[in-house]
Amino acid sequence: MGRTPCCDKKDLKKGPWGPEEDEILINYIKEHGYGSWRSLPKLAGLRRCGKSCRLRWTNYLRPDIKRGPFTVDEEKLVIQLHAILGNRWAAIAAQLPGRTDNEIKNLWNTHLKKRLLCLGLDPLTHEPFAHCGSTTTPRSSPATRHMAQWESARLEAEARLSKGLLFFNSPPPLVKPGPDYFLRLWNSEVGESFRNMNGEAKTDCRSPISQASSSTKCGSVSGVTIDVYPNMAGSSSTSTTARNQIEDPIDASFSSFSNESEDSSDTALQLLLDFPINNDMSFLEDDTT
């Protein structure tokens, strides 16, 4: 079959972007949105391939990008999410508003991975390297893997929705309304049961990651409670509002969803409750960076 190149490489500039190029790209997107990345450079008068423009925009020029160093909370969250999702940087980034997958990937590769290594933890599994007696035992049980799949799919669904809601200038529709099984499941009785079960929970719609952290059976959680929406933690009303903005339209459009998950509700809920997050995060406290 062969693969067509993403662009004609002749006469295309590569390497670092200059301020003029940034300005052209920003102005073009402000004015026209970003319908087709492939045709954008030509229309905007840039000698770059569309892929390069997309990357520059999503990783650097986007107005909602948060600059500056990661906070301790953000680092904790990245580690915790990485333990569940692995190198799925986009899914992790979806839980850190204003942070890009590239940024998180760099953070991991330059800081967090080394920090885990220094502490004798395998950055891949988040387990100690010397694991007497069970070196060949897979880290995750089937239930854990199921949970991780479930959660990552939900994160992706939320990420897609968030992208569609965040941008100014009403760009072309990024999110086509339609059923997303996992998000619907999260908003269904399974998720609801889960959200309601902890009376002391800070909000009523937190991720199963954090909830599972506080309800794990193995009891080895080292006191780290992760709020999956750390930037909203400052004001709970903001948090609720922001989340509702995402969830309300979904609830509305998913009103027909009722019994699809019924038969597996108990199992799924149990999996949520059983999901262990037992990484010791105490090392973050002596962060020297």
Partner DNA sequence: AAGATGCACAACCGCATTGTG
Partner DNA sequence: ACACAATGCGGTTGTGCATCT
Q: Which residues bind DNA (CB under 7 A)?
A: 1, 3-4, 6, 13-17, 35-38, 48, 50-52, 54-56, 59-60, 69, 87-91, 101-103, 105-107, 109-111, 156, 159, 174, 176, 289
**Amino acid at the residue 281:** M
**Sign (positive or negative) of CA dihedral 242, 246, 251, 253:** positive
Tokens representing residue 233 in the block: 């933690």
Q: Which amino acid belongs to residue 27?
A: N
Nearer to DNA, 1 or 132 (CB): 1
CB of 134 to DNA, least distance (A): 25
Q: How far is the CB of 163 from DNA (least distance, A)?
A: 7
Considering the complex, state which of residue 3 and residue 10 has its C-beta at the smaller distance from DNA.
Answer: 3
Residue number, 60 or 283, with CB nearest to DNA: 60
How many CA atoms lie less than 13 Å away from 22 in the CB half-sphere?
Answer: 11
Closest approach, Cβ 105 to DNA, in A, equals: 6
Least distance (Å) between residue 93 CB and DNA: 7
| CB nearer DNA, residue 63 or residue 244 | 63
Report, in Å, the least distance between residue 128 CB and DNA: 22
Compute the distance between CA of residue 234 and CA of residue 243 in angstroms, rounded to an integer. 14
Nearer Cβ to DNA, position 134 or 289? 289
Judge contact between 177 and 167, C-beta under 8 A: no
Nearest distance from C-beta of residue 40 to DNA, angstroms: 8
109 vs 149, beta carbon nearer DNA: 109
The pair of three-digit structure tokens given for residue 104, joined into one six-digit string:
């998180």
**Residue 109 or 220 with smaller CB distance to DNA:** 109
**Distance between CA atoms of 152 and 156, rounded to whole angstroms?**
6
Distance (Å, whole) CA 83 – CA 12 = 40
Distance CA 160, CA 158 (A): 5
Cβ–Cβ < 8 Å for 102, 59: yes
CB of 24: closest distance to DNA in angstroms?
13
Q: Which two three-digit tokens encode residue 93?
A: 């980034």
Between CA 73 and CA 6 the distance in angstroms is: 38
